[in-house]
Structure 1
Amino acid sequence: MARLNSVKMTYAINRTGEIVSIDNVDNGLECNCICIDCNGQLEAKQGAKNQWHFSHHKDNDAINCQWSGESELHIKVKEYLDRYKRLTVPIGFTNPTSLDIQFDEIQLEKSLRPTKRIPDVTGYCAGEKILIEVKVTHEVDQQKRIDYKKVNVSVIELDFSDFTFIDTRSKPLPQR
């Protein structure tokens, strides 16, 4: 298991502005990627021994980069929701059950008008808009709650604050 501060960067931005996985780029500087946080040049490290990851290129000044495992977890949760368009949520306290939500559409980082807030995920299910916020270290603050209440929209906050990564790469790394 790994703590968030030991998680390696596995997502970056490619030359067309898309978020890409380390598994889908060329090795080294040929990846043509930049950091999601600081826009610094990255190189893909795709060796045979260690987990594949991006690192800042040695000529790049990454001193002010704020990338963290929190950023990575945020991205992975949003990617999961975008790909699978489903979520299971708990219902009740005394006799808890669960509800499977199958979204018709998912939008990432879409501005919510007229609040000008940008929820992590906006999902649409049977004509209803559901906002999803991903908590890793910072929960939805009071002002954001008030803003969401004003527009009468359902909000789910997914709490990953106690999450620990488990390295699932025990199988051989993919060959290029």
Structure 2
Amino acid sequence: MAENYKLVDAPVEQPLSMHPKKFALWLFIVTVVMIFAAFTSAHIVRQADGDWLIYDLPSMLWYTSGIIILSSVFMQWAYIAAKKDKLEQVKLALGITTILGILFLFGQLKAWEQMVDANVYFTGNPAGSFLYIFTGIHALHLISGVIYLIYMLISSLRNKVHSENMLNMEMSSTWWHFLGGLWIYLFIFLLLNH
């Protein structure tokens, strides 16, 4: 006697997947977070030793914080415009973001000048050293972000940034927003712990 079997199509679960370049970026972001978590922890521990120099944060850090927030707004505009194939807006927004990134770096140099004018140096007291380390290492990472922005700007001028080619746009946007968020964290940390 033949038995009739009915095959039922069970839903097939798709494995979670991520482009290898995005995965590498996220691993790098986690590494950077760990580095700055270690630095901020060391700052708190070292501050408790008692020979801590009390100083005013450079006023330029307020301006650079505003610049990095504004640059993140323009970066998001570029990302949204790319998804909608508004190529002229992509070019404009990436150009402005790049300029703001460069202004941020110059602002950080000006903040260092303000620190020197206030007699706070890299050597001499750990309080000053930590400020230079925080801003210097963040600036190195931000330089990589500006280089990526320049690459994206050139790509957009060649009309290679659009809804069908979003990988680099997504990655540069993620990296830039991370760098902005990291700076805001560092600035608030310094405001509370200088």
Looking at both structures, which has the greater relative contact order when contacts are Cα pairs under 8 Å and sequence separation is at least 6?
2
Would you tell me which structure has more strand in proportion to its own residues? 1
Higher gyration radius (CA): 2
TM-score bin (small chain): under 0.3
With normalisation by structure 2, the TM-score equals 0.23
Greater fraction helix: 2
